[in-house]
Amino acid sequence: MSLPLVVAITGASGAVYAVRLLEVLREAGVDVHLVISPSGAAVIKQELGVDIDLVRFRPDSLLPSAADSAADPKIAAVRHLAGVSTGDSSVLPVATKAPGEIIYHYHTNFMSPIASGSFLTRGMVVCPCSGSTMSGIAHGSSTNLVQRAADVHLKEHRRLVLVPRETPLSTIQLENMRIAAQAGAVVLPAMPGWYHGVKSLQDLIDFIVARILDQLEVPHTLMRRWGDSAST
């Protein structure tokens, strides 16, 4: 049985990275425990035009429809790698693995299972990671479920990926990143590369999502790797 991932969306610009990450994880058959901060919801509304109800959140209010995902060749490749198929597949007549489930947790619910180290996960991603969230994680504040879950992953020595996007950076922000990295987190700034045959904005988004997936050991073909001449 595959362990779930924790994904947190906080109030930094770059909500599109989080949405794409959730879509890919769902289609790869990975269960996700999701937390969205109030500032994260505000950024989603500002950047994507989606009004998030944090009390009665439904994943389909944020993610692309199954039909839209099915039309994406990159998603089709992810599903193939994960062994996820539909009943009408010409290759696999029956589903061998179901798409992942998204389980939502309110940002102040400290009774959530992800607030405890006894709840097993394969890792956590904070994407995007705001400066205040980075500071709270670096200094062990645990003032909300995002910070508490991150603290749990550090103390349990599980993979924790933090995706800041802000630029430029102050020495205070750099120091917070250093402390978090020294404590065991992977600081993965949203700095897309340009060497993988960029043709669209989606390619730049997928570069960052691909790097996150690499850290979590989730197979994918979202981008062409350095030295790989074959296009994805």
221 is in an annotated binding site: no
What per-residue confidence (pLDDT) applies to 232?
A: 42
197 is in an annotated binding site: no
In a domain, 150, yes or no: yes
Say if residue 161's pLDDT is above 60: yes
131 is in an annotated binding site: yes
In a domain, 68, yes or no: yes
Share of residues in the chain with pLDDT > 90 (%): 78
133 is in an annotated binding site: yes
Say if residue 140's pLDDT is above 90: yes
132 is in an annotated binding site: yes
Number of structural domains found in the chain: 1
Per the structure, the complete domain to which residue 125 belongs is given by: 13-215
In a domain, 222, yes or no: no
In a domain, 88, yes or no: yes
Q: What is the mean pLDDT of residues 168-173?
A: 98
In a domain, 27, yes or no: yes
pTM comes to: 0.91
135 is in an annotated binding site: no
CATH number of the CATH domain containing 186 = 3.40.50.1950
Q: CA of 139: how far to CAs of 12, 169, 225, in Å?
A: 19, 18, 35
Please calculate the CA angle 49-6-62 and round it to the nearest 5 degrees.
20
- 110, HSE (Cβ side, Cα atoms, 13 Å): 6
Residue for token digits 């073909």? Answer: 221
Q: What is the mean pLDDT of residues 45-61?
A: 96
What pLDDT, in 10s, does the model give residues 59-98?
Answer: 999 998 877 887 898 888 888 888 886 544 443 344 457 8
89 is in an annotated binding site: no
Nearest of 66, 16, 9 to residue 39 by alpha carbon: 9
In a domain, 58, yes or no: yes
In a domain, 5, yes or no: no
Radius of gyration of the CA atoms of the chain, in A: 17
229 is in an annotated binding site: no
165 is in an annotated binding site: yes
